A = this chain, B = another copy of it.
Amino acid sequence: MNIGQAGERAGLPSKTIRYYEDIGLIKPLRDANGYRAFRESDIHKLTFLGRARALGFTIEDCRNLLALWEDTGRASSDVRAIAKEHLQQIETKISDLQNMQRTLSDLVRDCAGDDRPDCPILLQLGKAT
């Protein structure tokens, strides 16, 4: 299977797949003409990667998860640790963003948004310490 079709099946652009090979996440075979030849196992890995990335795991997380995935004797606690750590980071990010959201929506609410120059948003951003 060529890269285009592999991308179709895994839901990833060809560019991304080449990149994943570049950084050693997958190792497709090569045809005589130099084209990458994807096996079912490669597609499966790519799909796995797509899902993990969609959940926001970093590439390094994905590398580790993939290794655990292939290690049928792994302990589920290893996987869980990575996921929990990541979940923690997501939660931190959410709360940071919610803080921004609160501040910003207050400012937007208080700004008339008309032709006059008075603007609490700029006022707040520029206020002396």
Tell me how far the C-beta of A64 lies from the nearest C-beta in chain B, rounded to whole angstroms: 11
B117 to A73, Cβ gap below 8 A?
yes
B-contact 0/1 string along A105-122, CB 8 Å cutoff? 101100111111111011
B100 to A90, Cβ gap below 8 A?
yes
Q: Which residues of B contact A48 (CB under 8 A)?
A: 125-126
A128 to B72, alpha carbons, bound, how many Å?
17
Tell me whether A37 is interfacial, beta carbon within 8 Å: no
Given A111-B83, A125-B48, are A74 and B117 neighbors across the interface (CB < 8 Å)? yes
Q: Which residues of B contact A97 (CB under 8 A)?
A: 56, 90, 93-94, 97
Tell me how far the C-beta of A110 lies from the nearest C-beta in chain B, rounded to whole angstroms: 10
Chain A interface (Cβ within 8 Å of chain B)?
44, 47-48, 51-52, 55-56, 65, 68-69, 72-77, 79-81, 83-84, 86-87, 90-91, 93-94, 97-98, 100-101, 103-105, 107-108, 111-119, 121-122, 124-126, 128-129
